[in-house]
Amino acid sequence: MEGKVLELVSFDVDGTILRGRIMKRLRIPKESHDEIRALHELFHQGRLGYEEVLRAQFLLLTGMRAHDITPHVMDLPLIDDLQATIERLKLMGVKALILTDNASFIVAPLRIYGFQEVIGSEIEIQGGIITDRMKLLTNKLQALREYCRKEGIAINSCAHVGDGFNDVVAFRGVGVSVAFNSHDDGVSEAATYSVHGNSLLDVYRVLEPDLPTRR
């Protein structure tokens, strides 16, 4: 990183800090889950595009009450040592945030583990009811750059941790990147480090040389 130290670490959700996909944990009817799963399969078959499937999945939530369908955070199958990792980063004066294409209201409960910000797709909610108006997050690097611009943080003083194809664009723009438990060789090769493990502290250890000295 040419002498720079990290000021911010962003984390993907699905497959990174969460074992599996958070949309599967929504408290919605089985029929809606089946439709979401079918759309996901069409994407993997190459029959629907990335943005197209995101929009279609979120549209299935239109008319539902956001509070009623948001997952119970304590029931989520999270990676081991999530809170311990975030606390260590904060002790070093490093911001920890979530960077995801999931709807921000769905992942917002994860902030209880110490994340300072959630950057995700934005779905308009009126009177507690989910509408069909949305701003999708399909470019994680662009979203992170916008956040860093507002916060006065250099993008090469950031690290991103993820496991999927949509993390690669961020990997290529930040100072340090970690492919965590990725099963895609292209994703792993795009990252500074490739790490496999059951604990998020494994990620902390590879980032440690680039962290500030303890405050």
Question: By C-alpha distance, which of 213, 185, 174 is closest to 11?
Answer: 174
Q: Where are the domains of the chain?
A: 8-20+76-210, 23-69
91-108 pLDDT, tens digit per residue, is 999 999 999 999 999 999
Token output for 181: 């438990």
Bridging pattern class, strands 193-195 and 158-162: unpaired
Amino acid at 111: R
Q: Is 72 helix (H, G, I), strand (E, B) or coil?
A: coil
Global pTM value: 0.95
CA separation for the pair 91, 119 (Å, rounded): 22
Amino acid at 93: G
Q: Which of the listed CATH numbers 2.40.37.10, 3.40.50.1000, 3.30.70.240, 3.90.600.10 matches domain 8-20+76-210? A: 3.40.50.1000
Cα distances (Å, whole numbers) of residue 161 to 13, 55, 178: 9, 24, 5
Report the pLDDT value the prediction gives residue 213, as an integer from 0 to 100: 80
Low-confidence stretches of the chain (pLDDT beneath 70): 1-4, 214-215
